[in-house]
Structure 1
């Protein structure tokens, strides 16, 4: 495997410049050009389109670059681990979406720590749909079903229904679902690169009702939207399993048994090559088992009195 040529290709592809790539690796520009040319000869395909305006990756280059970059990063991490003889001390890096972390995952992590106090975990969170940016060992992601180069385990599919405070429902009691939602203040949960009212629009289509989704407040997380609905006003389209405790306690009301699946779910993503690591295997197994035991509310429950 032409390691030097791959390193040169990755540097040039990252910067889209032979000059910047050469500076990053502290080699001459001519050496970079020779390495990339040798890799192109080996593949029998060009990796860059060269023009007066600069460099552009070809289709072959776009396919190869992320794989080479990932492999070089993993190789560097492993070399550093072996060099430092510190393979057991580096914390596992686990990403969890903010709403799931606050509402469900914190007690699960506490349970894991009680059983495995010797395993260190660095938990990060970010409000993204899909796999987060940055280096993580494992990631719980909020997304639609997708296929990538990671091992993917479904933790649960989201089931949503309109939820509000008892006071909000009392002010609208007796109305139909369509009348209620058009009269109430809609609370939105924003998704990356999606229209503001996507989730409510999808729900309205599924229920075959006409709903104006242009108004209301929008939040970055379902956790914030639900807390606002409980403390103030408005109706939120939220996961009934994630907020099962609030529904059971009567702090949230589900006025209508109109539970639907919006196509999103929570998935655990792990690098396939990491499954041989006993620590990562142990944490993955724990997460899957704990989420399998998580129970939600009864689908037929009609929490709102008098509906």
Structure 2
């Protein structure tokens, strides 16, 4: 928000920056900055243009850095994947993809966010409810959750109803940005038609952490039974009641429509969709 600071960052004169901005505004037929006050303020047109300009420069810098290291290599494809899905499901897929397509480089980032991550990516698998935005969106995994615990916890409460079992144990939560602490348990209780104090217990930032605590300590986690099927099959995790529900959340692959023109991104998208479809069919 300063022509002077921008000029210093670009190592050019302030007047050069000002002239370029004026030329850009004339070309667009829209003002990008309001210059009437003590400081620059973006106009609606400037605010609309800013994220696209930022993304373009970010991608340009990313590609130039890659070329500087290896002139023959294309830029890596940046993918964001939620931590629990990455650990439980996607990690073997990434290994198989790398073996099949060794020339396509992938940079993976992971953070416990709901929806799109803040960092710039080429595609992202997001944990969210169904929504409509300006991105190409593919459903990869529909979540189906049930209360899970260690075998020891289940053994201490034989014959209890679901409502009594949950009332007698700590609830383990997964925090969702911008959502109430007990949202997932409240949803489960409503669909299961039971009374439940959904706010008590411990909270974790990832589902994997909550389930790990449930396996090695006390408490009951609300977990995706398909995602943790290996732990359930091995007996390390128990589903004490047949009470699985679809809670409205899922994992969605999102990318910008114009990125589909990149053959590598298009290939990764198709490959991931096929892998998730095959896993679901096998399950």
TM over 0.5: yes
- Structure 2 match to 1:129: 114
**Deviation of residue 36 (structure 1)?**
3.0
**Unaligned ranges ≥5, structure 2:** none
Shift of 1:193: 2.5
CA RMSD after TM alignment:
2.8
Equivalent in 159, 176, 181 of residue 144 of structure 2: 159
Q: Is the contact made by 1:95 and 1:139 (CA closer than 8 Å) also made in structure 2?
A: yes
Aligned 8 A contact 1:241 1:296 in 2: no
Aligned to 1:202: 187
**Whole-angstrom CA distance in 1 between matches of 2:247 and 2:41:** 38
User: 1:244 touches 1:297 (CA, 8 Å); kept in 2?
Assistant: no
Aligned to 1:215: 200
Task: Kindly indicate whether residue 241 of structure 2 is the aligned counterpart of residue 256 of structure 1.
Answer: yes
Pair 1:252–1:124, CA change in 2 (3 A): same
Secondary structure of residue in 1 paired with 2:179: coil
Given the superposition, is the C-alpha separation of residues 77 and 58 from structure 1 closer, same or farther in structure 2, using an over 3 Å criterion?
A: same
Match of 1:232 among 217, 226, 245: 217
Structure 1 position 54, deviation (Å): 2.9
Aligned to 2:57: 72
Calculate the TM-score normalised by the size of structure 2: 0.86
SS in 2 for 1:218: strand
In the superposition, relative to structure 1, how do residues 57 and 144 fare at CA in structure 2: closer, same or farther (>3 Å)? farther
Unaligned runs of 5+ in 1: 1-15, 299-307
Match of 1:58 in 2: 43
Question: Given the superposition, is the C-alpha separation of residues 79 and 166 from structure 1 closer, same or farther in structure 2, using an over 3 Å criterion?
Answer: closer
Q: Quote the residue 1:95 is aligned against.
A: 80
Tell me, yes or no, if structure 1 residue 27 matches structure 2 residue 12. Answer: yes
Taking a change above 3 Å as real, the CA distance of residues 45 and 113 of structure 1, as seen in their structure-2 partners, is closer
User: Of 241, 259, 262, which aligns to 1:274?
Assistant: 259
